Amino acid sequence: MRVNLIGATVAGCLVATGAMAQTAGTDEDIAFAGEIWQEMVDTGMVGDGAILGLPYMGAPPHGAMLETFFMDAEVAGEEGLLVIKRNYGPMEVAADEVLADPSGHLEAVTIMFQRAEGYDSEHNDWFYAKYDPDGSLDTNPAGMALAGAVGRNMEAGCIACHVGAGGDDYLFTTDAYPPRAAE
Ligand code: HEC
């Protein structure tokens, strides 16, 4: 009886994944994330001697201290805005400690790259990735590489949370210091 129940659950999962095309963690997503990492190496945004910003206090799920950069990038022939967030830790770490030893405090690099129109038109065409400091991709608890339209099913993951950012652009930091409204 128990065996039957497990069999039924597995069959159910197969039907569910078969019906919906996978939107993250595919071989293509992983390769594209690799191209983005290379672009960041080439432009001095990651690796030894990477350009530094002024770390500011962050909150989960990103780090205790953060740096955010915006740049135009070309990735595999696609031009778009690349937003890079460096996530530093551990909790309670101070900005001057991060600046004294950035690579020793770097816990993850998370990015959003706006791909060509039609990539994920419902959600502004953002491609997401989360890397360990050495450039390998982080995975979710199910073992899926965090690259692509992560969280598109709105259950968990990058998009499910970033959809809540103001301005319908999926970006939080652009809302951090809103200018005074016009009178
Ligand atoms: C539970 C909510 C949540 C989840 C899940 C989340 N983020 Fe974020 N993200 C934020 C918040 C809040 C900020 C703004 C942090 C700040 O700089 O103060 C942010 C900022 C960013 C930024 C800088 C651009 C911006 O929005 O200002 C990038 C890039 C980013 N996140 C990537 C990712 C990636 C990649 C994932 C998935 C692996 C992810 N995020 C998952 C809440 C989330």
Q: Which atom of ligand 1 is nearest to the CA of 138?
A: 38
Asked if residue 102 is part of any domain, the answer here is yes
Q: Give me the pLDDT at residue 77, please.
A: 95
Residue 74 CA to residue 115 CA, distance in Å, equals 10
Ligand 1 neighbour 153 (Cβ under 6 A) = no
Asked if residue 11 is part of any domain, the answer here is no
Asked if residue 17 is part of any domain, the answer here is no
pTM of this structure: 0.88
Q: What is the mean pLDDT of residues 2-31?
A: 63
Q: Which atom of ligand 1 is nearest to the CA of 156?
A: 5
Asked if residue 39 is part of any domain, the answer here is yes
CA distances from 159 to 5, 38, 45, 150 (A): 33, 24, 24, 6
* Mean pLDDT score of the chain: 88
Ligand 1 neighbour 66 (Cβ under 6 A) = yes
Ligand 1 atom 36, closest CA: 158
Asked if residue 44 is part of any domain, the answer here is yes
pLDDT tens per residue across span 41-67: 999 999 988 999 999 999 888 889 999
Asked if residue 78 is part of any domain, the answer here is yes
Asked if residue 160 is part of any domain, the answer here is yes
Ligand 1 atom 3, closest CA: 161
144 lies in which domain range?
A: 24-168
pLDDT tens per residue across span 22-34: 899 999 999 999 9
Asked if residue 34 is part of any domain, the answer here is yes
Q: Give me the pLDDT at residue 153, please.
A: 87
Query: Ligand 1 mean position to 78 CA, how many Å?
Result: 22
Tally of domains within the chain: 1
Say yes or no to pLDDT of 73 above 50: yes
